[in-house]
Amino acid sequence: MATPDVGRMGIEILSFTIKDVYDNVEYLASLGKARTAAVKRDANVGVAQAERDAGIREAECEKSAMDVKYGANTKIEDSHRLYDLQKAQFDSEVNSKKAEAQLAYELQAAKMQQKIRNEEMEIDVVERFLSFFILILITFFHINIRFSFFYV
C-alpha cells in the first residue's frame, strides 16, 4: 500500500526489516499460546513414550541377561554333576583295582608260604629218610657212629 506513495516520491524499497509488532488486545500473543501448548504437550508425550520404550528395552535386556546367566549357571551345575559322577566312577575303578592288587598280593604271598611249607616238608621227609637209612645201615653193619643233626 505504501509502495505507490513512496514511488511517487522517487524512492524504491528493495528490502526492509520489521523491528517490532505489537497490539493492545494481545491477539498475536494468544495465537502463539495455543501452538506453544500443543508443542509442549507433544514434547511431553514424546518424552513419556521415549521413557516407556527405554524402560521396555531395559527390561528386555535384563531378561536376556538373566536368561544367559541362568543358562550359564545351569551348564556349570551340569558340568559339576557330570564331574562328580565321573570322579565317583573313576574312584570306584581305582578302588576295584586296588582290591584286585591286594588280593593278588595276598594270593601270591599264600602261594609263596605254601611253597615254603612244601619245601620244609620235603626237607623233613628227606631228613627222616636219611635218619632212617643211617639207622638201618648202622643196624645192618653194626656200626657205632654218632651223628648229630641240627634242626632249624
Domain membership flag for residue 147: no
Give the pLDDT score at 46. Answer: 94
Total domain count for the chain? 1
DSSP code per residue over the chain: -HHHHHHHTT-------------TT-HHHHHHHHHHHHHHHHHHHHHHHHHHHHHHHHHHHHHHHHHHHHHHHHHHHHHHHHHHHHHHHHHHHHHHHHHHHHHHHHHHHHHHHHHHHHHHHHHHHHHHHHHHHHHHHHHHHT----------
pLDDT of residue 104: 95
Read off the amino acid at residue 109. Answer: A
Average pLDDT in the 79-84 region?
Answer: 96
- Among the listed residues 151, 149, 116, the one whose alpha carbon sits nearest the alpha carbon of residue 132: 149
pLDDT score recorded for residue 83: 96
- What does the block give as the cell for 3? 509502495
Which pLDDT score, from 0 to 100, does residue 94 have? 96
In a domain, 21, yes or no: yes
**Residue 72 confidence (pLDDT):** 96
pLDDT tens profile 23-65: 787 777 777 787 888 889 999 999 999 999 999 999 999 999 9
Q: Which triple of cell numbers denotes residue 152?
A: 632249624
77 is in which domain, residue-wise? Answer: 2-141
pLDDT digits (tens, 9 = 90+) for 26-36: 777 777 787 88
pTM score: 0.42
| Residue 98 belongs to some domain of the structure | yes
151 inside domain: no
**Residue 73 falls within a domain, yes or no?**
yes
Residue 114, in any domain of the structure: yes
Query: Residue 142 has what pLDDT?
Result: 65
Model confidence at 82: pLDDT above 80 = yes
Whether 84 is covered by a domain: the verdict is yes
Check pLDDT > 80 for residue 109.
yes
Query: Is residue 134 domain-resident?
Result: yes
